[in-house]
Amino acid sequence: MTLHLAVALDGAGWHPAAWRAEGARPDRLFTLAYWADLVAEAERGLLDFVTFEDALGLQSTRLNEPDERLDQVRGRLDAVLIASGVAPLTSRIGLVPTTGTTHTEPFHVAIGIASLDHISGGRAGWRPQVSGRPDHAAHFGRRVLPPLDFSDRADPAFTRHVAGLLGEAADAVEVVRRLWDSWEDDAEIRDVATGRFVDREKLHYIDFQGDWFSVKGPSITPRPPQGQPLVTSLAHDRQPYEFAARASDVVYVTPRDREDASAVVEQVREAEAATGRAGPPLKVFADLVVFLETGGAADRKARLDDLDGGEFVSDAHVFTGTPEALAGLLLSWREAGLDGFRLRPGELPRDLVAITRGLVPELRAAGAFRTAYDTGDLRGRLGLPRPANRYATAS
Amino acid sequence: MTKQIHLAAHFPGVNSTTVWSDPASGSQIDFESFRHLARTAERGRFDFFFLAEGLRLREAKGRIHDLDVVGRPESLTVLAALAAVTTHLGLAATVNSTFNEPYEVARRLASLDHLSGGRAAWNVVTSFDAFTGENFRRGGFLDESDRYSRAKEFLETARELWDSWAPDAVAADPEAGRFLRPGGVTAFRHQGRHFDISGLFNVPRGPQGHPVIIQAGDSDEGREFAASSADVIFSRHSRLEEGRAFYRDVKRRLAAYGRRPEDLKILPAVTYVLGDTEAEAAERAAEIRRAQVGPQQAIYFLEAVWGRDLSAYDPDGPLPDVEPDLDEGVSRGHAAFRRDRGELVAKWRALAEEKNLSIRELAIEVSAPQTFIGTPRTVADEIDHFVQTDAADGFIFVPHLTPGGLDELVDKVVPLLQEKGVFRAEYTGPTLRDHLGLAHRDPALSEPAAPVPAPRTKENR
């Protein structure tokens, strides 16, 4: 069975000095052509999907406030719009933008991702993300968030704060999912005899009421081609695992090594049991930052570290080595019960090209990666069925 | 001097102009429909392509209105995709200032401006209805009297955000190790009645500086807002005399804001029907009107004015004998009739009496008539006449068919306008501001954007 492979795109790559590397295109970061070229390369490698990072504030090395650095990439375009701009220029690869759940209206997200799914012919996904940053909250002026302090994760105040953000995010996902279902697939009837464009019995109020907001519905956008676009989330801990178990189809996790991967998968399965997850189990993807090269990947990363003035660290495991070695690592970690990997290229386009032209052939040689795209949509590629509409009544 | 005409295309969407029952009517949601219309508009060298918005499905009598097209995609998402399949066409999104926040709207519009290479436009609309608010976190929080003050402050705030990045803020100089130029990004702080926000904006200034601002309000307040802040007015005054009066009124308001008449383009929304002869065009126009106003639509049209369920009446029979219920608003989620409905009913009765009209015939007669009907030659002449005699600077065409509704206009009328020398044969610049003859909003060229210069914070030293 094929291993699933996604790539996470962000700026000039995940290393903060990547924009200074040879072959980088820092002056093109804010153009459609830049993103279209990257996604076309990922599609040439037959990857499952690409993700686009986003946030409602400027990048910062600090947790709760902006920093003063001028030597790293700052600024980014809206991820949904990048994904949508790329959609007509690609044909098979999945497109998974990030949006926030803390400040952004769920209604806008629902129609944006549904529209992306219509435009791309069933290739849309979504990565909901909470924002606990007080500086981002000040961009909206509607609520004041306390600074996040990760130094004591056992502190009840921290746990409560995170639980609140994730609870709100779970409600946002629930609203979005209900809105996607608020139109039955055959709601549009164009019945000339009765003059009716839609059968309004097949349009549904979602009547969501939660602790944070209420949303009436129905959506203004017809049901997306996939029914439910792919929902994905990143998780490092029990609370976000449970959020994923409630809300997501795919969870990105960050194991340190093979052994940790087993432990993490086990925790994900426990979270599924604890939340009473119904439907298909979470697809578990491990995130890795990768610097790939036949000889010299570690040196290259070290040079970037020097440029940036400090060692690059990440929440995910940082791999430096040859495509062949990475293929071996992925196949070994996969034994822990992982469904796939989301690779974060250290440098763009260099490490992306190393994935598509180096890693992919290695995996293929091991019989572990597809040789052609199937004909299905993004959900189908991941082995997920098209969900029945929760509002449809059996006739 | 001969004025140059500006042309825009409106996607035939959720409105009573769009005919969905025609066999040639295609999907209202497939991207192919949007691509075809946008590419046709670009082939015709149009200034821009326009998408409307409605954030709640319309209802009548407490049920979802099902007689017109229902459903549409999110505007900015579609326009970003159209940016990939067009090269010069302006891309205009209607975005509500009531159910959005400035930081998000400003960054999405700036993003579209980058992705399209300077082709973004924003039609700023406001709504105050609790009905639409039920789809949003804040609900229906806004009072009607505050809607323009919110829209105005929203736009001012968005401009402050766009101006917080200098045009050359991104140095992207690997040699010097400098991604941002020192001082290129300044912190914003806006404290006003509707917004109290501060921080750092996260999208570099777009190629146009600010996207083109479109405004559609018609009240005195709306006209004043447009005169102070908009680049384009989407006007509903599509007849010659009322068009001229509107044009004069709005253009004279500009001086008070230090603006020239050419800084604000007035583009009425119009429809068109062509034929090889005048008679053939008139016949087609009548057919289209009958398709737009079917029996059910005619009853619905009257119900909105009567405030009553009229479903028992025969659309091909005389007007209802029952008096209107003036206390009851029937229709929600779209523009309400503001005129005195009692007076309107009396007027319609007199008209129906005089011309012996059925319910449906009356609805056809009094609801949104077509604007330009004729041969390509007479339509081209009429368009030009409107513009040269200051009833408009150009038009926003609202076709009645998806996706082929612009084809004839572009194939038959546009070449005649080009022949006359009143419409561009080729684009002369890459941006929408270029097409409209508007200055780019560069700091050196624009008025001081904010009353108080944004303070530079230590983060940006």
Q: Which residues of B touch A108 (CB under 8 A)?
A: 74, 100
Say yes or no to pLDDT of B444 above 50. no
Of the candidates B195, B202, B259, the residue with the CA atom closest to the CA atom of residue B227: B259
> Is the minimum CB–CB distance between B202 and chain A shorter than 8 Å?
yes
Full residue range of the structural domain in which residue A125 is found: 4-381
pLDDT band for position B46 (50/70/90)? very high
Query: CA angle A132-A125-B49, nearest 5°?
Result: 100
Report if residue A253 sits inside a domain: yes
Our count of domains for chain A comes to: 1
Report if residue A26 sits inside a domain: yes
Inter-chain CB proximity A56 and B170 less than 8 Å: no
Measured in angstroms, the CA of A380 and the nearest CA of chain B are apart by: 21
CB B222 within 8 A of CB B123: no
- Pick among B58, B74, B91, B196 to test the A interface (most A CBs inside 10 A): B74
> Is the minimum CB–CB distance between B197 and chain A shorter than 8 Å?
yes
Measured in angstroms, the CA of B443 and the nearest CA of chain A are apart by: 20
Q: What is d(CA A98, CA A341) in angstroms, rounded to the nearest whole number?
A: 17
Report if residue A105 sits inside a domain: yes
Report if residue A262 sits inside a domain: yes
Identity of the residue in B117, B179, B200 whose CB atom sits nearest the CB atom of A71 = B179
Q: What is the mean pLDDT of chain B?
A: 91
In this predicted model, what pLDDT tens digit does every residue of B182-219 receive, in sequence order? 999 999 999 999 999 999 999 999 999 999 999 997 88
Name the residue type at position B52: A
Inter-chain CB proximity B134 and A197 less than 8 Å: no
In this predicted model, what pLDDT tens digit does every residue of B216-262 receive, in sequence order? 978 899 999 999 999 999 998 989 999 999 999 999 999 999 999 99
Identity of the residue in A27, A74, A85 whose CB atom sits nearest the CB atom of B81 = A85
Inter-chain CB proximity B99 and A105 less than 8 Å: yes
Higher pLDDT, residue A9 or B455: A9
Say yes or no to pLDDT of A227 above 50. yes
Measured in angstroms, the CA of B74 and the nearest CA of chain A are apart by: 5
Tokens of A193: 């005899």
Higher pLDDT, residue A233 or B141: A233
Largest CA distance in chain A: 73
In this predicted model, what pLDDT tens digit does every residue of B281-311 receive, in sequence order? 999 999 999 999 999 999 999 998 898 899 9
Q: Which residues of B touch A107 (CB under 8 A)?
A: 55, 99, 135-136
Return the percentage of chain A with pLDDT > 90, whole number. 92
Report if residue A388 sits inside a domain: no
Give A157's contacts (C-beta < 8 A, 6+ positions apart): none
pLDDT of residue A153: 78
For residue A110, what is the domain's CATH number? 3.20.20.30
Measured in angstroms, the CA of A227 and the nearest CA of chain B are apart by: 15
> Is the minimum CB–CB distance between B316 and chain A shorter than 8 Å?
no
Inter-chain CB proximity B461 and A104 less than 8 Å: no
- Pick among A30, A188, A200 to test the B interface (most B CBs inside 10 A): A30
Inter-chain CB proximity B115 and A82 less than 8 Å: yes
Q: Which residue of B has its CA nearest to A192?
A: B21
The mean per-residue pLDDT over the stretch B413-435 comes to: 98
3-state SS, one letter per residue, for A267-318: HHHHHHHHHCCCCCCCEEEEEEEEEECCCCHHHHHHHHHHHHCCCCCCCCEE
- E strand or H helix that includes residue A197: strand A196-198
**Surface-to-core class of residue B461, CB atoms within 10 Å of its CB (0-12 exposed, 13-18 middle, 19+ buried):** exposed
Q: What is d(CA B204, CA B251) in angstroms, rounded to the nearest whole number?
A: 33
Q: Which residue of B has its CA nearest to A171?
A: B137
Report if residue A112 sits inside a domain: yes
Number of cross-chain residue pairs from A and B with Cβ atoms under 8 Å apart: 227
Say yes or no to pLDDT of B369 above 80. no
Domains of chain B (ranges, CATH numbers): 6-273+372-436 (3.20.20.30), 294-366 (no CATH)
pLDDT of residue A151: 79
Report if residue A389 sits inside a domain: no
Q: Which residues of A touch B56 (CB under 8 A)?
A: 216, 220
In this predicted model, what pLDDT tens digit does every residue of A18-70 receive, in sequence order? 999 999 999 999 999 999 999 999 999 999 999 999 999 999 999 899 999 99
Inter-chain CB proximity A111 and B73 less than 8 Å: yes
Count of C-beta atoms within a 10 Å radius of residue B81: 30
pLDDT band for position B343 (50/70/90)? confident
Q: What is d(CA A297, CA B173) in angstroms, rounded to the nearest whole number?
A: 24
Q: Helix A156-181 crosses helix A106-120 at what angle (to 10 degrees)? A: 50
Q: Is A345 helix (H, G, I), strand (E, B) or coil?
A: strand
Tokens of A77: 């375009």
Q: What is d(CA A292, CA A352) in angstroms, rounded to the nearest whole number?
A: 9
Inter-chain CB proximity A105 and B178 less than 8 Å: no
pLDDT of residue B455: 37
Strands (E), B275-352: 331-332
Return the percentage of chain B with pLDDT > 90, whole number. 81
Q: What is d(CA A128, CA A131) in angstroms, rounded to the nearest whole number?
A: 10
Q: What is d(CA B423, CA B8) in angstroms, rounded to the nearest whole number?
A: 12
Say yes or no to pLDDT of B97 above 60. yes
pLDDT band for position B268 (50/70/90)? very high
In this predicted model, what pLDDT tens digit does every residue of B47-95 receive, in sequence order? 999 999 999 999 987 899 999 999 999 999 999 999 999 999 999 999 9
The ipTM value here is: 0.98
The mean per-residue pLDDT over the stretch A328-352 comes to: 98
Inter-chain CB proximity A115 and B199 less than 8 Å: no
Identity of the residue in A67, A87, A216 whose CB atom sits nearest the CB atom of B134 = A216
pLDDT band for position B329 (50/70/90)? low
Report if residue A120 sits inside a domain: yes
